[in-house]
Amino acid sequence: MSNVIVVLFGNNGWDRSAEGAAGTGQRLAQSTGGNLNVVFLGDASKEARDGAAACAASVVVVNQPELAEYQPEAALEAAQKACAEISDTSVVLFGNDTYSQELVPRLAHRLGGCSLADVQGVTADGGQVLATRSAYGGKAMSTYSMKKTPVVLWVRARAMDPATPGAGGSLEEKAYELATPRLTITSRDVLESEGPSLEDASIIVSGGRGLGGPEAFENELKGLATAMHAVQGASRAACDAGWVPPNWQVGQTGKKVAPELYLAIAISGASQHLLGMGDSKMIAAINTDPDAPIFKHCSFGIVEDYKNVVAPLTEKLNSMG
């Protein structure tokens, strides 16, 4: 029997990332004949505790002042001690937030295992853990056979199906004696935004270089996004040009998103951009170039100047209420 641990941050709540990570862990534990265990770093809300307890054999909330806000050294040591207490662990899963990406390789080293980043699928085959991720800028998929356990991974959790509620498991709070940290985060700059984040959006309206300037984002695409109850995104070219904020960027070096619908407007579809939005449930595109790579990856496409599509579409949606 090989157990699976999902490590979450308590102050993130029971969001899509937590649900997807728990679902991946649950399916993996079922295939290995083990149990799913959830560890919260920091206090967790009742919703998060209940959500985890409904699908896991055990839930541990590491609730102590050092973890009230993310500090890398404290979070790493707490995760190490919590994971070490759960015997026969083959896989430790994290979501794809920045903090998780920082902790995964360091935790793997401390636990004597191995790590892999940006995993899109994980399975067990004959006692071997197999992890799949994209390669060559999203042009191919590679499967890795992990040689040392525990395998510590961060996965594209928002693109993964949530767990199935079961009978429910145990829940307990713990606190550990943590060493004095060698470094601490002394300040944080938080970009203000309205509505859901790009990562949690159900619908994304994204624009690219072909829009020609910032005016199109503010005048045409903003109205369409409002009518569709969507969040706006952008390609790297549009962000680098300063047309929109950098936190709008979708792609290999930007946000990895998995909405129900991704509408790409005047985006050619370079592999770096596809890597960030390829997990979308449905992709639609508007582009003047019939040979644009985006059309090979979308369910619906219109070869047309966006100006002839966006305004009528916005007007139609608004008229429907």
> Is the Cβ–Cβ distance between 18 and 12 less than 8 Å?
yes
The helix (H) or strand (E) run that includes residue 119 is: strand 114-119
Residue 262, SS3 per DSSP: strand
Instruction: Give the whole-angstrom CA distance, residue 310 versus residue 133.
Output: 35
pLDDT digits (tens, 9 = 90+) for 289-300: 999 999 999 999
Q: pTM of the entire structure?
A: 0.86
Q: In this predicted structure, what is the pLDDT of residue 1?
A: 58
> Is the Cβ–Cβ distance between 13 and 197 less than 8 Å?
no
Residue 259, SS3 per DSSP: coil
Helix, strand, coil percentages for the chain (3-state, nearest 5): 35, 25, 40
Within the chain, which residues score under 50 in pLDDT? none
Q: In this predicted structure, what is the pLDDT of residue 193?
A: 66
Which CATH superfamily, name and number, covers 3-174? Answer: HUPs (3.40.50.620)
Report CA torsion sign: 151, 154, 158, 159. Answer: negative
Instruction: Give the whole-angstrom CA distance, residue 59 versus residue 62.
Output: 10
Identical fold between 3-174 and 203-319: yes
In the block, which residue shows the tokens 């806000």? 69
Q: In this predicted structure, what is the pLDDT of residue 304?
A: 96
* Residue type, position 97, single letter: D
What would the two tokens of residue 175 be? 């606190």
Instruction: Give the whole-angstrom CA distance, residue 63 versus residue 48.
Output: 14
Angle at 56 between CA 114 and CA 150, to 5 degrees: 10
> Is the Cβ–Cβ distance between 89 and 149 less than 8 Å?
yes
> Is the Cβ–Cβ distance between 39 and 6 less than 8 Å?
yes
Level-2 CATH architecture, domain 203-319: 3-Layer(aba) Sandwich (3.40)
> How would you class 123 by CB atoms within 10 Å of its CB: exposed for 0-12, middle for 13-18, buried for 19 or more?
middle
Choose among 296, 290, 288: nearest CA to 271: 296
User: Could you tell me the CA-to-CA distances from 79 to 35, 85, 158, 182, 221 in Å, in that order?
Assistant: 18, 10, 22, 17, 43
- What is the DSSP code string of 157-218? GGGSPPPPP-S--EEEEE----PPPS------------SS-TTT-SEEEEE-GGG-SHHHII
Boundaries of every domain in the chain? 3-174, 203-319
Residue 146, SS3 per DSSP: strand
> Is the Cβ–Cβ distance between 93 and 155 less than 8 Å?
yes
In sequence order, which ranges of the chain are alpha helices (DSSP H)? 16-32, 46-53, 72-84, 98-111, 214-216, 222-227, 236-240, 271-277, 307-319
Instruction: Give the whole-angstrom CA distance, residue 17 versus residue 1.
Output: 26
